């Protein structure tokens, strides 16, 4: 009995390590183990020599061995034409399963367009944290504590630390760039910003901005106008007209808002432009001397301009999206429409 068991062990090892390379090897295996004169038969023949009291135990061992030998054969049996692989035969001529491909988000596409337009006139991209401290989001931007302009932006505060806010604009990134003290600077700051607004078709608690900052010796308002004019003609077409209206931002002086001629009606009046022929697209101005001083930059030597636009707004004007909520609902029917832009 002992030697029979050892013999079986050796055969088991042989079976376990067996992988046929082709149909012939599998057939050889079948004849060797499962054929009429095969090893399984032969070993079962040994049963007659096993003492009666061991017959039950030996029977179990032999049956297990037979099952193992058969299972190995079954594993490869269905493989024909030399295509020996594990698992069921595969029809390699069948078309594959189509995996749906996602698309870029429209806001990201428009952000990329804005960035590539400004890159052509020397702007590089800078990013910063979405949780900001008071200094970078407000105070350094000429909005000290209790300054009424803070109310222009409904702020989310971080409850653990009264000094922290969710940034209300990406001007905070401009502050961080100025802080580095390397001049001249010409940066674009795209990113997500947060304001405590009730969600509706026209307002959301978060949106995206792209702000720009250029500081050097001799930068003038004319440079600002020219850069922005270049931007809108690239973005909305060469016939786009612009106009500037005086405005107020604490961090710029003078400040302006820029309108473009309506992209839908061309100026004759429609719903997008509320029948005025103009749509507002951004705020801008010359960097306030106080802000330059906050970062140790001498306003007598350096001047700069800044501008900031909402990416949702640009997308809305360019592609006539009339409900801000669509951007964050992740409805593929909406997202897919931007596939080819
Ligand atoms: N930070 C302003 C806003 O969020 C936009 C702006 C940027 C205006 C730079 C002027 C200059 O509304």
C-alpha to C-alpha distance for 165 and 159, rounded to whole angstroms: 9
Residue whose Cα lies nearest atom 7 of ligand 1: it is 308
Rounded Cα distance between 238 and 231, Å, is: 10
Q: Is the pLDDT of residue 79 over 80?
A: no
Residue range 106-338, CATH number: 3.30.930.10
Using the atom order of ligand 1, give the atom closest to the CA of residue 213: 9
- Among 4-13, 97-106, 114-123, the range of highest mean pLDDT: 114-123
Nearest atom in ligand 1 to the alpha carbon of residue 255 is 10
Ligand 1, atom 5, lies closest to the CA of 308
Ligand 1 centre distance from Cα of residue 138 (Å): 12
Tell me, in angstroms, the distance from the centre of ligand 1 to residue 295's CA: 18
Nearest CA to ligand 1 atom 9: 307
Residue-range domain boundaries for the chain: 2-84, 106-338
CA 277 to chain CA mean position, Å: 36
249 alpha carbon – ligand 1 mean position (Å): 7
| Residue range 249-278, pLDDT digits in tens | 999 999 999 999 999 888 888 988 999 999
Q: What is the pLDDT of residue 150?
A: 82
Q: Is 284 in the pocket of ligand 1 (CB under 6 A)?
A: yes
- pLDDT given for residue 87 in this prediction: 55
> For 45-74, how does the pLDDT look when each residue is reduced to its tens digit (9 = 90+)?
988 888 889 888 889 999 999 999 999 998
Tell me the CA distances in angstroms from 256 to 208, 214, 281, one per residue in order. Answer: 20, 16, 11
**Selection from 202, 313, 293 nearest residue 253 by Cα:** 293
pLDDT digits (tens, 9 = 90+) for 126-145: 999 999 999 999 999 999 88
Residue 190 has a pLDDT of: 98
Residue 148 has what DSSP assignment? Answer: G
Q: What is the pLDDT of residues 289-336, one digit of tens each?
A: 999 999 999 999 999 999 999 999 999 999 999 899 999 999 989 998
CA–CA dist 178, 224 (Å, integer)? 18
């Amino acid at each position: 009995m002992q030697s029979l068991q050892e013999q079986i062990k050796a055969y088991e090892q042989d079976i376990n390590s067996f992988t046929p390379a082709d149909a012939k090897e599998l057939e050889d295996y079948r004849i060797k183990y499962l054929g009429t004169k095969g090893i399984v038969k032969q070993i079962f023949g040994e049963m007659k020599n096993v003492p009666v009291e061991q017959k039950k135990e030996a029977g179990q061992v032999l049956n297990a061995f037979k099952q193992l030998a058969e299972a190995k054969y079954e594993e490869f049996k269905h493989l024909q034409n030399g295509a020996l692989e594990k698992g069921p035969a595969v029809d390699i001529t069948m078309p594959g399963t189509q995996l749906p491909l996602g698309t870029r988000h429209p806001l990201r596409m428009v952000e990329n367009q804005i960035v590539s337009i400004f890159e052509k006139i020397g702007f590089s991209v800078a990013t910063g944290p979405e949780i900001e401290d008071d200094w970078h989001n407000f105070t350094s931007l000429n909005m000290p504590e209790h300054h009424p302009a803070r109310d222009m932006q409904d702020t989310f505060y971080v409850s653990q630390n009264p000094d922290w806010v969710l940034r209300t604009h990406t001007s905070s990134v401009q502050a961080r760039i100025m802080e580095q003290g390397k001049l001249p600077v010409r940066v674009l700051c795209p990113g997500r910003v947060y304001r405590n607004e009730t969600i509706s078709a026209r307002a959301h608690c978060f949106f995206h901005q792209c702000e720009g900052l250029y500081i050097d010796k001799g930068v003038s308002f004319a440079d600002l106008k020219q850069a922005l004019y270049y931007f809108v003609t690239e973005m909305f077409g060469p016939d786009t007209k612009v106009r500037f209206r005086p405005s107020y931002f604490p961090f710029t002086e003078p400040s302006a808002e820029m309108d473009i001629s309506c992209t839908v009606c061309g100026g004759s009046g429609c719903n997008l432009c509320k029948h005025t022929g103009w749509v507002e697209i951004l705020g801008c101005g010359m960097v306030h001397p106080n802000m330059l001083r906050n970062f140790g930059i001498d306003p007598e030597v350096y001047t700069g301009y800044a501008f900031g636009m909402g990416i949702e707004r640009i997308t809305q004007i360019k592609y006539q999206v009339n409900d801000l909520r669509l951007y964050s609902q992740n409805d593929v029917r909406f997202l897919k429409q931007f596939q080819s832009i």
